[in-house]
Structure 1
């Protein structure tokens, strides 16, 4: 089963963030709580971890893209 992975909420005052790096590439296995990407807000850099065990199948937000919390940034294949 493939699930959408949205950028999580990053704080009450954060309306957008810039993707600064992906630690995984499509096809890579990923474990729950493993670092998947980094984003930068106006105030801090944030490390975003995977909520799932599975395989990263698609990246939807390129490096330097501005994304808002809730926007789908990746898709992960997980076991049913």
Structure 2
């Protein structure tokens, strides 16, 4: 069971050299006490996954999870 999807994604991507992962904050919504952050992750400038969470870190994990699932489907 993967607990840290950002690390798992990094390890998947590093199997090939020259791969660049970037995380982008797409936006935030909701009141201050219940914010929801939206984050996208790109591989070499191409969208790979997106996610939402109560913190930027949680949203990045969700985006990385979506990306890991997408990459492992292709194998």
Normalising to structure 2: TM-score of the pair? 0.32
Normalising to structure 1: TM-score of the pair? 0.31
Q: Which is helix-richer, 1 or 2?
A: 2
